[in-house]
Amino acid sequence: MVQHVLVAPDKFKGSLTAAEVAATVAAALGVPAVELPVADGGDGTVDAAVAAGFDRVTVRVTGPTGEPVDASYARRGETAVVELAEASGLRRLPAGPEPLTATSHGTGELIADAVKQGATRVVLGLGGSACTDGGAGMVQALGARLLDAGGRELPRGGAALRDLDRVDVSGFLDVSGVAFVVASDVDNPLLGPHGAAAVYGPQKGATPEQVKLLDAALGRLAAVATRTHGLAGAVEHDDTPRAMGVAGAPGAGAAGGVGFAALAFLHADIRPGIDYLLDLLGFHEHVKGARLVITGEGSLDEQTLRGKAPAGVARAAAAAGVPVVAVCGRRTLTDEQLREAGIEAAYALADLEPDLGRSMAEARPLLGRLAARLAADRLS
């Protein structure tokens, strides 16, 4: 039997989707290849699922600033893959960041549609979020009412949570027969110096004062949800380490606190993003009999080592006894760091074209040349 090469890259952000990377590499190898675009729960997760045989479902939902957007989730049988970035991501911001008012409402609308269409397992990929609202918008879209002391519904966004008085879940969507899995490698708690606002708020445009406001507002959400929704373990917070519980659980701070809402209101399990998605996409079947695995992403750097897609692919390939090499736009990892991550070698577009702008603009032909070089080195 002729051995194949498994091409399992993530996207080159800003240049090529994971599917485009996989197709370009496979076409240049000159040997039998299987294309399996992958993702770690962030941008591109739905695209990777569709490439693996899921159907794409597109729904008109609420964007992060309240405007309507057409967003997609993936579905196969009774499993749905919902990517937060599709409806509530930074790329959906029409005119720059809105750290105090951006909402996760559209993500809840995607989940609601998937459940109403018969999904009994929903995989929620968290990454690329535009909001720091603790998942408030998501649970509002699922039927929860977040009310102030006067019984008025709170407006969108994280800052409004400072006025939260009670959570009414009497109209919440029936999800009793649905299993929720959060695919995320973020282990931050909801609150405090390592929490959603402090760590990720600045990436979404929050000033230091806005970070403090958002952290306090998320603390109010945790405290009120504990009192009115029976969530054990959330505490009034300060700068001391968090007591374990929903608010203090690893991953509660993912995607501006959407992880907290998934744990608290959807009773989700949090799983390592890339590992869970490789299982879902069928990596372990495709790697059987492979002579080589080619993975990659736009930048092989320190973030890669913290659970990003290439590191996860390398772990899974090692378990199957198959060697791994990577392609990328650029790399800052040393050869030793790559080997420790299970990657024998890396081929970078920057080796062919050091100018970053030109490298991104001409990523596809450069990647084809790079893959041909890889084939000559590794497959001849």
Q: At what angle do helices 208-229 and 254-266 cross, to 10 degrees?
A: 0
- Give 84-113 pLDDT, tens digit per residue: 999 999 999 988 899 999 999 999 999 999
Chain center to CA of 14: 16
Confidence at residue 1, expressed as pLDDT on a 0 to 100 scale: 55
User: How far, in Å, are 66, 106, 127, 144 from residue 94 at the CA level?
Assistant: 10, 15, 18, 27
* Contact call for residues 187 and 130 (beta carbons, < 8 A): no
| Nearest of 155, 158, 145 to residue 225 by alpha carbon | 145
CA atoms within 13 A on the CB side of 242: 25
CB-CB contact of 225 with 167 (8 Å):
yes
Q: Which amino acid is at 173?
A: L
Q: Is the pLDDT of residue 240 over 60?
A: no
The answer to whether 105 touches 137, Cβ cutoff 8 Å, is yes
How many domains, the chain? 2
Domain boundary among 243, 273, 303: 273
Q: Are residues 310 and 355 in the same domain?
A: yes
In single-letter form, the type of residue at position 285 comes to E
**Residue 15: its pLDDT value, please?**
93
Q: Are 371 and 33 in contact (CB under 8 A)?
A: no
Q: Are residues 333 and 191 in the same domain?
A: no
pLDDT tens for 20-35 read 999 999 999 999 999 9
- Of the residues 220, 255, 273, the one at which a domain ends: 273
Closest CA to 65 of 38, 43, 91, 41: 91
**Same domain, yes or no, for 110 and 222?**
yes
Mean pLDDT (whole number) for 276-284: 93
Give yes or no: residues 23 and 149 share one domain: no
Q: Which domain holds residue 248?
A: 45-273
The tens digit of pLDDT for each residue in 306-345 reads 878 999 999 999 999 999 999 999 999 999 999 999 999 9
Three-class SS state of 78: coil
* 95 and 242 fall within a common domain: yes
Residues 169 and 289 in one domain: no
The answer to whether 97 and 65 have CB atoms below 8 angstroms apart is no
| 22 lies in the same domain as 57 | no
Task: Quote the pLDDT of residue 74.
Answer: 98
Do 155 and 232 fall into the same domain?
Answer: yes
Q: Choose one of 250, 273, 296: the last residue of a domain.
A: 273
- Residues 4-20 have pLDDT tens digits of 999 999 999 889 999 99
* Residue 208 neighbours by CB under 8 Å, 6+ apart: none
Q: With 90 as the cut, is the pLDDT of residue 2 above it?
A: no
What CATH code is carried by the domain that includes residue 114? 3.90.1510.10
159 pLDDT higher than 80 = yes
Q: Are residues 65 and 167 in the same domain?
A: yes
258 Cβ neighbours under 8 A, 6+ residues apart: 84, 88, 104, 107, 124, 126, 129, 131, 133, 134, 135, 138
Q: What is the pLDDT of residue 340?
A: 94
What is the residue type of 323?
P
For residues 33 and 227, what is the distance between their CA atoms, to the nearest angstrom? 55
Closest CA to 71 of 113, 17, 126, 16: 113
The answer to whether the beta carbons of residues 38 and 309 sit under 8 Å apart is yes
Residues belonging to the chain: 380
